[in-house]
Amino acid sequence: DGGITQSPKYLFRKEGQNVTLSCEQNLNHDAMYWYRQDPGQGLRLIYYSQIVNDFQKGDIAEGYSVSREKKESFPLTVTSAQKNPTAFYLCASSGGAWNQPQHFGDGTRLSIL
Amino acid sequence: DQQVKQNSPSLSVQEGRISILNCDYTNSMFDYFLWYKKYPAEGPTFLISISSIKDKNEDGRFTVFLNKSAKHLSLHIVPSQPGDSAVYFCAASGGYSGAGSYQLTFGKGTKLSVIP
């Protein structure tokens, strides 16, 4: 089945530690995105990538980094510089045209130990 | 500054009746609008979209209406079913106009409860 796979579903981070969240898609989509959701809030864009080896900052990129070495993969690293990392992280992809919806994975919940 | 607003945090509707979820936006460059449904601890699921050249789009029980002059859109669900109980997010993008073509701006969501 085609879809977006995020792993792990739950992740715990110690203070001062970097952690990497995985996102893989087999939809042959060009564009991929990372969002963060906090309780009672909408989704906020962290980073997005329209093609391999290129990515752009979203609204809340500070403390995060990404890479896009393969079309299928868009991992997100939450660095120790992110002071409030506890949140639900969602990865999405789309065909890349302006009128194509984004489709989401099932998310990773990150918590601080 | 919230560019996409869902002013009702929650809505309760009887099974079989119509559910109407509302969304307002402030950015006149938005020209593609979407509705997503989300269950707890899952990713949002795309429901329906509309571009600014249309004022209505239907897909089964779901209809989205767009009023560009009022910068307002709404999602109608008829008839409502208990399985529709979820959080609904409205989202918008600059779309074809190029202003952040690939970026979606989300509202904070409305929690719909359909009562059997």
Distance from CA of A5 to the nearest CA of B (A): 11
Q: What is the pLDDT of residue B101?
A: 53
For residue B16, what pLDDT band results from cuts at 50, 70 and 90? very high
Average pLDDT of the residues in B24-35: 93
B40 contact partners, CB below 8 Å, separation of at least 6: none
Least confident of A25-29, A97-101, B31-35, B105-109: A97-101
Q: Rounded mean pLDDT of chain B?
A: 92
Nearest to B31 by CA among B87, B80, B97: B97
pLDDT for A113 equals 82
- Residue A69: CB atoms within 10 A of its CB come to 10
- Tens of pLDDT, residue by residue over B32-73, are 999 999 998 899 999 999 999 999 999 999 999 999 999 999
- The pLDDT, as a whole number, for residue A78 is 95
Which of A31, A98, A106 is closest, CB to CB, to B96? Answer: A98
Question: pLDDT tens, A52-95?
Answer: 999 999 989 999 999 999 999 999 999 988 889 999 999 999 98
Q: Which of residues 64-103 of A touch B (CB under 8 A)?
A: 88, 90, 92, 94, 96, 98-99, 101-103
Q: Distance between CA atoms of B79 and B62, rounded to whole angstroms?
A: 9
DSSP, collapsed to helix, strand or coil, labels residue B83 as helix
Name the residue among B74, B36, B70 with its Cα closest to residue B56.
B74
Residue B97 is predicted with a pLDDT of 47
Give me the residue from B32, B36, B41 closest to A99, CB to CB: B32
Above 70 in pLDDT, residue B98?
no
pLDDT higher than threshold 90 for residue B87: yes
Averaged confidence pLDDT in chain A: 92
B50 contacts B72 by C-beta, under 8 angstroms: no
Q: Cα dist. B63→B31, B34, B44, B50 in Å?
A: 17, 11, 18, 10
The span from the CA of A69 to the CA of A58, in Å, is: 19
pLDDT at res. B2: 82
Candidates B64, B104, B105, B106: best to mutate against A (most CBs of A within 10 A) is B104
Model confidence band, residue A41 (pLDDT cutoffs 50, 70, 90): confident
Distance from CA of B70 to the nearest CA of A (A): 22
Instruction: Please name the residue of chain B whose CA is at the shortest distance from the CA of residue A57.
Output: B103
